Chains A and B, each alone.
Chain A
Amino acid sequence: MTTPTDFLLWVRGPGFDIALVVFILGVIIRLLEVLVLGRKHDYSEPRGGELGPGLKTVVTRTLPETGSFKRAPFTVIGGYIWHIGFFISLFLFVPHIELINATLGLSWPGIASNLVDAVAAVTIVTLIAMLFSRLTHPVKRYLSGPEDYLTWLVTFLPMLTGYLAYHRMIDPYPLVLGLHILSVEVLMIVFPFTKLMHAFTFFIARWYNGAMSGRRGVQS
């Protein structure tokens, strides 16, 4: 890896393969770690079903409860903006779709690059604001440990390097593109070992919450 091009070739080739294997195996292991624990049979007479209310909670928990939203609007709105912005940048940017198509053979229409650019800018600013909030809000500051800041960083870097690469703000281009891909690989490797796993486990958590409540006749 002597030149930026060598670097780019490595992160696109072996680097990406390593990250992908760690990501997929890691996520599978983490999900199995949760699911194999199971839960005991419940002998109490149910008042309602589990499946329906569980699935409903998976969907409805996406919207905040009114009272807590009013008390913490920044956390809720900021959370929406950056999650949505992140997914738009990841899945609706045409070069990303082309990459996914080349790898998995799946394709869907993207949106205009300058629109993704604007979304990315908003997402980056929101992520910085979220970090600021984590450092200053009494509850978030109290709860946060190194893992919270690490996960913020590995989420932020792909956004930042993507933005820098798109605007060619670092020369030469293969270097900044390589850095962008590398940052995504870091995210993929860190993902299974941290609370980034919530992106998968929240389905399970919401389902259990809704199911256990639904059994008692309450939609949670």
Chain B
Amino acid sequence: MSGATLERGLNAFREQMNAPIASFFSSCVNCGMCAEACLFYTETEDPKYTPINKLEPFRRVWEQEYTLWGKLKSMIGLTEPVTDELLAEWEELIYDGCTLCGRCSMVCPVGNDISYMIRRAREGFVAAGYAPEGIKGASRRAVTIGSPMGVKLPALQAQIKHVEADTGLTIPIDVEGADYMALLSSMEIMNFPEYLEALGRIFKQAGVSWTISSEAFEATNSGIQIGSSDIARVLVSRVVSAAEKLKVKYVISPECGHAYTAIRWEGPNLIGRPYDFKVVHILELLDELRASGRIKTEGTEEDRLTFHDPCQIVRKGGVLEQPRNLLEMVTSDYVDMTDHREMNWCCGGGGGVSANERAEELRIKVFKRKKSQLDELNVDTLVTACANCRLIIEEGLEEYRMEMPVVGLTEVIAEHLVEDKE
């Protein structure tokens, strides 16, 4: 992030240009439909949050440098250049006002994948030095300390000790040749250690050979959020090295949305080669264990429940059926929100927004979308599968004085797990 200049930003925009982006910009007719799919517009009614508008600086680079007509217009001074002032003004729109949730990409009539464009446009913003301090700080901590929240190995070891003491389980560390290497998000380590406990219990019961790496346990990737492939590559490489060193067959992405995007979809492209291992989301693995009969549950939740689909895991990740298969095992009064699965509404804190303190007021405001989704259902408990969504939703519920427990799906499964007596 040092030496960020406008020129570097423009170069980054150019590096990100490709046929999909050019086809998207060529196709937009400013119909405004994407606004109706975006919680930042629906909850603020401020047209500046229209998704396609967030791309204006990137659009200008495309028009002026990648179209014959734009080049001609530039020559005679009919176009407006991308300036520091423009990027400074748009920084708020592209970082605070977008969670990369990808809902707009599902409704655009001409088929523009707008969140794909925003992810790429952020590369230009960060290279030019226009990124929020909060995400910059998280990225710095991730690179230097190993975690965006500054969580170091001793903190994980302390949590492991607690879990082991509470449950009598052994949490395997650095076991070479294990089948699975589990990753955790800092939030799970610090705020939701019940996830780790759930993993331990489920894997013991199912006889899953697994381990955690002391060198790369952090799943989150601030580089993906800030939009810096350089940072993202450093963070992904740590996981890849650790997994290849331990010779595992699989890496398990935890209950964290963008971590899944980072390790599953972007990671191989960041390092420029396929992995020697496969990446599975924890819900995919649990569903496999369910389907093969390796885990069984007993009893069901008495509460009326719903599931919040984390955008990066469901809409952008393709883990669609697994959460509902698992919920079906342990619920008797389950109900979906009106817009769910790939059309679910974001919690408002994805894509780096939760790490961006400046965006808090806006984030609380747009949480009204989730609030009204929940108000319609009259549910007692919300289940999700992303520690970030979970924290954001807890904060939102508190802000709007709604009493509702928010729990992780893996823990719910663990609670109902049929365990062999020792």
Interfacial residues, chain A to chain B (CB-CB below 8 A):
29-30, 33-40, 42-45, 47-48, 57-58, 61-62, 64-65, 67-68, 71-72, 75-76, 79, 137-144, 148, 151, 192-195, 197-198, 201-202, 204-210, 212-213, 216-220
Interface string of B104-126 (1 = CB under 8 A from A): 01111111110010000000000
Asked if residues B28 and A38 are in contact (CB atoms below 8 Å), the reply is: no
| Residues in A whose Cβ lies below 8 Å from that of B278 | 45
Asked if residues B22 and A34 are in contact (CB atoms below 8 Å), the reply is: yes
Q: For B268, give its contact among A44, A71, A139 (CB under 8 Å).
A: A44
| Residues in B whose Cβ lies below 8 Å from that of A201 | 23, 26-27, 110
Asked if residues B68 and A205 are in contact (CB atoms below 8 Å), the reply is: no
| Residues in A whose Cβ lies below 8 Å from that of B266 | 44
Given the known inter-chain contacts A35-B19, A195-B26, please indicate yes or no for A140 contacting B31, CB distance below 8 A. Answer: yes
Interface string of B303-331 (1 = CB under 8 A from A): 00000000000111110100000000000
Asked if residues B30 and A71 are in contact (CB atoms below 8 Å), the reply is: no
The distance in angstroms between the C-alpha atoms of A65 and B110, with both chains bound, is: 13
The distance in angstroms between the C-alpha atoms of A209 and B107, with both chains bound, is: 11
Asked if residues A48 and B26 are in contact (CB atoms below 8 Å), the reply is: no
Q: For B111, give its contact among A37, A75, A207, A218 (CB under 8 Å).
A: A207
Q: B361-419: which residues lie under 8 A (CB-CB) from chain A?
A: none
Which bracket fits the contact residues of B?
Answer: 35 or more
Asked if residues A33 and B37 are in contact (CB atoms below 8 Å), the reply is: no
Q: Which residue of B lies closest to A195 (CB)?
A: B29
Q: For A205, give its contact among B41, B53, B112, B315 (CB under 8 Å).
A: B112
Asked if residues B28 and A195 are in contact (CB atoms below 8 Å), the reply is: yes
Given the known inter-chain contacts A72-B36, A212-B20, A218-B318, please indicate yes or no for A202 contacting B111, CB distance below 8 A. Answer: yes
Asked if residues B269 and A139 are in contact (CB atoms below 8 Å), the reply is: no
| Residues in A whose Cβ lies below 8 Å from that of B19 | 34-39, 204, 208
Tell me how far the C-beta of A104 lies from the nearest C-beta in chain B, rounded to whole angstroms: 26
Given the known inter-chain contacts A37-B17, A205-B110, please indicate yes or no for A67 contacting B269, CB distance below 8 A. Answer: no
| Residues in A whose Cβ lies below 8 Å from that of B112 | 205, 209
Asked if residues B68 and A33 are in contact (CB atoms below 8 Å), the reply is: yes
- Indicate whether B343 reaches chain A with its CB closer than 8 angstroms: yes
| Residues in A whose Cβ lies below 8 Å from that of B17 | 37
Asked if residues A198 and B29 are in contact (CB atoms below 8 Å), the reply is: yes
Beyond the given A30-B26, A213-B105, could you list 8 further A-B residue pairs with CB under 8 A, ordered by the A residue number?
A34-B19, A42-B269, A140-B32, A197-B27, A198-B27, A198-B28, A201-B110, A209-B108
Asked if residues B30 and A143 are in contact (CB atoms below 8 Å), the reply is: yes
Q: B324-345: which residues lie under 8 A (CB-CB) from chain A?
A: 338-339, 342-343
The distance in angstroms between the C-alpha atoms of A42 and B269, with both chains bound, is: 6
Given the known inter-chain contacts A216-B316, A220-B105, please indicate yes or no for A198 contacting B110, CB distance below 8 A. Answer: yes
Q: Which residue of A lies closest to B114 (CB)?
A: A209
Asked if residues B66 and A65 are in contact (CB atoms below 8 Å), the reply is: no
Asked if residues B18 and A75 are in contact (CB atoms below 8 Å), the reply is: no
6 of the cross-chain contacts (CB-CB < 8 Å) are A40-B269, A44-B266, A205-B26, A209-B105, A216-B265, A218-B317
Q: Which residue of A lies closest to B317 (CB)?
A: A216
Asked if residues A38 and B18 are in contact (CB atoms below 8 Å), the reply is: yes
| Residues in B whose Cβ lies below 8 Å from that of A29 | 68
- Indicate whether B293 reaches chain A with its CB closer than 8 angstroms: no
Interface centre among B21, B31, B42, B278 (most CB of A within 10 A): B31
Asked if residues A204 and B23 are in contact (CB atoms below 8 Å), the reply is: yes
The distance in angstroms between the C-alpha atoms of A198 and B342, with both chains bound, is: 26
Interface of A is mostly: helix
| Residues in B whose Cβ lies below 8 Å from that of A216 | 265, 316-318
Asked if residues A75 and B33 are in contact (CB atoms below 8 Å), the reply is: yes
The distance in angstroms between the C-alpha atoms of A141 and B50, with both chains bound, is: 12
Interface string of B24-52 (1 = CB under 8 A from A): 10111111110111000110010110101
The distance in angstroms between the C-alpha atoms of A48 and B319, with both chains bound, is: 12
Q: Which residue of A lies closest to B70 (CB)?
A: A193
| Residues in B whose Cβ lies below 8 Å from that of A142 | 47-48, 50, 53
| Residues in B whose Cβ lies below 8 Å from that of A33 | 22, 66-68
Q: For A206, give its contact among B42, B66, B111 (CB under 8 Å).
A: B111
Tell me how far the C-beta of A26 lies from the nearest C-beta in chain B, rounded to whole angstroms: 8
Asked if residues B32 and A137 are in contact (CB atoms below 8 Å), the reply is: yes
Q: Top 3 closest A-B pairs, CB basis?
A: A217-B318, A206-B111, A43-B268
Asked if residues A44 and B269 are in contact (CB atoms below 8 Å), the reply is: yes
Given the known inter-chain contacts A39-B20, A44-B268, please indicate yes or no for A209 contacting B113, CB distance below 8 A. Answer: yes
Tell me how far the C-beta of A198 lies from the nearest C-beta in chain B, rounded to whole angstroms: 4
The distance in angstroms between the C-alpha atoms of A143 and B31, with both chains bound, is: 8
Asked if residues A37 and B343 are in contact (CB atoms below 8 Å), the reply is: no
Given the known inter-chain contacts A34-B19, A35-B19, A61-B109, please indicate yes or no for A198 contacting B26, CB distance below 8 A. Answer: yes
The distance in angstroms between the C-alpha atoms of A43 and B343, with both chains bound, is: 27
The distance in angstroms between the C-alpha atoms of A34 and B21, with both chains bound, is: 8
Asked if residues A220 and B106 are in contact (CB atoms below 8 Å), the reply is: yes
The distance in angstroms between the C-alpha atoms of A207 and B110, with both chains bound, is: 10
Q: B248-278: which residues lie under 8 A (CB-CB) from chain A?
A: 264-269, 272-275, 278
Asked if residues B267 and A44 are in contact (CB atoms below 8 Å), the reply is: yes
Q: Which residue of A lies closest to B267 (CB)?
A: A44
Tell me how far the C-beta of B21 lies from the nearest C-beta in chain A, rounded to whole angstroms: 8
Tell me how far the C-beta of B96 lies from the nearest C-beta in chain A, rounded to whole angstroms: 18
Asked if residues A30 and B107 are in contact (CB atoms below 8 Å), the reply is: no
Q: Which residue of A lies closest to B68 (CB)?
A: A29
Given the known inter-chain contacts A39-B19, A45-B278, please indicate yes or no for A217 contacting B320, CB distance below 8 A. Answer: yes
| Residues in A whose Cβ lies below 8 Å from that of B69 | 192-194
Q: Which residue of B lies closest to A196 (CB)?
A: B29
Q: For A143, give its contact among B47, B67, B275 (CB under 8 Å).
A: B47
